[in-house]
Structure 1
Amino acid sequence: MNRLLEPVLRRWRLTAFIASATMLAIAHGFQHIGGLAPCYLCFKQREVYWVALAVALVGMLAVRTKLGANSRRWFNLALGLVFLFGAGLAAYHAGAEWKWWPGPSVCGGGAATVTAESMAALLKGEVFSAPSCDKAAWVFAGLSMAGWNALFSLALAALSFQAFRRKYA
């Protein structure tokens, strides 16, 4: 195995926790600093990282107990399944942006999503509607944020499954 990858897999739950927190920070940065309002599917993709944070944290704590010492691999498997679901959700969103298939009906652009921005807009008497899920707000190298998220989530899932296969994990 690659010498650089081995330490990452040995501490996979911590790595997954940091990766999830970083992805959430990036998403919030695009929203609050970059001014890109998230759509319904963007919020759903964030929820996946919140779940991964919780699984990783519980996994880090559980393996420190007598009962949880043998559960390391199973937490890695759970993280792999969470990240794989996230990759599928992000790919679905990217496909909706490319008009390969329709997004959910709540993604029409007129459905309100309750956020700090929407609440502030309502208090000011302004009309707020969530952005449509089928329009990419940001594209880099031909991929939208959803497309990049699909690739990143798929990589995290693959690493999680690799950590699950390791005896020391």
Structure 2
Amino acid sequence: MTAIQRSPALSSAVLVTLGMIVTVGTALGFEHLGGYIPCALCLMQREPYYYGIPVGVLAIISAAFPMPAWLPRLLLAVVAIMMLVGAGIGIYHAGVEWHFWEGPSSCATSAQGVSANVGDLLSDLDSKHGPSCMDAALRVLGLSFAGWNVLASLVLAALAIRGAIKAR
């Protein structure tokens, strides 16, 4: 039996951390390779992943090496909370896309497509705006990126909670 099979905390930490890397990597791929410019809420939805990945790595290390048993449990619980926050942001964003409620006023203030010409920088900052948070860039099986993020975040949170509960 391998260490990952023997330790629910380690297996959950590895799975959740890889899941976070794949999820945010997919979002970055759609942005940089697919040309989908993210709105302000899209960028905000990535933050729990950016903070969660290092915590997940710490959870892996704490579960793989002889450390106090409470440490991987705590770190997995922190990751679960971060993913639940991410799911909440995703629900809010999906609601904005479906026009259930208004989005934030900062929704279209991103400076995407800013000129490399230093002389035009100030005018570009005032005139260039990212896409509106109200318009889904793409829907797959009826769900926007925000909707898929909700599902991914909830699955990752459930895996982290499972690992935190079953950790020895």
TM-score, normalised relative to structure 2: 0.83
Between 55-64 and 24-33, the greater mean CA deviation after superposition: 55-64
Task: Single out whichever of 134-143 and 124-133 deviates more from structure 2.
Answer: 124-133
Q: Which runs of 5+ in 1 are unaligned?
A: none
1:112 is the counterpart of 2:105 = no
Deviation at 1:112?
2.7
Q: Does 1:81 align with 2:74?
A: no
1:39-72 superposed Cα distances (whole Å, 9 cap, x missing partner)? 1111111111111101101222234555444312
The answer to whether the 8 Å contact 2:10/2:60 transfers is: no
1:122 equivalent in structure 2: 115
Partner of 1:50: 50
1:157 is matched with 157
Rounded to whole Å, the distance in 2 between the matches of 1:40 and 1:157 is 23
Equivalence for 2:13: 13
Secondary structure (helix, strand or coil) at the match of 1:92 reads helix
The residue matched to 1:77 in structure 2 has which SS? helix
Which residue of 2 is the match for residue 33 of structure 1? Answer: 33
Task: Tell me the residue number matched to 1:61.
Answer: 61
Number of the residue aligned with 1:131? 131
- For residues 9 and 60 of structure 2, what CA distance do their matches in structure 1 show? 13
Q: Is the 8 A contact 1:138 1:144 kept in 2?
A: yes
Matched-pair contact (CA < 8 Å) for 1:122–1:128: no
Counterpart-to-counterpart distance in 1, 2:110 and 2:152: 28
Higher helix share: 2
Give the secondary-structure state (helix, strand or coil) at the position aligned to 1:136: coil
How many residue pairs were aligned?
Answer: 157
Alpha-carbon distance between aligned partners in 2 of 1:45 and 1:150, rounded to the nearest angstrom: 9
Q: Are the equivalent residues in 2 in contact too, given 1:98–1:134 (CA < 8 A)?
A: yes
Contact conserved, 1:9 with 1:159, CA < 8 A, in 2?
A: no
User: 2: distance between equivalents of 1:123 and 1:58?
Assistant: 39
Deviations 1:105-163 (A, max 9, x none): 100x2x134xxx53xx3215465311111110010111101001101111111121121
**TM-score w.r.t. structure 1 length?**
0.82
- Which amino acid is 1:36 matched to? Y
RMSD: 2.3
Provide the rounded CA distance (Å) in 2 between the counterparts of 1:123 and 1:21.
Answer: 30
Q: Secondary structure at the match of 2:70?
A: coil
Number of the residue aligned with 2:23 = 23
Cα distance in structure 2, aligned partners of 1:65 and 1:6: 13
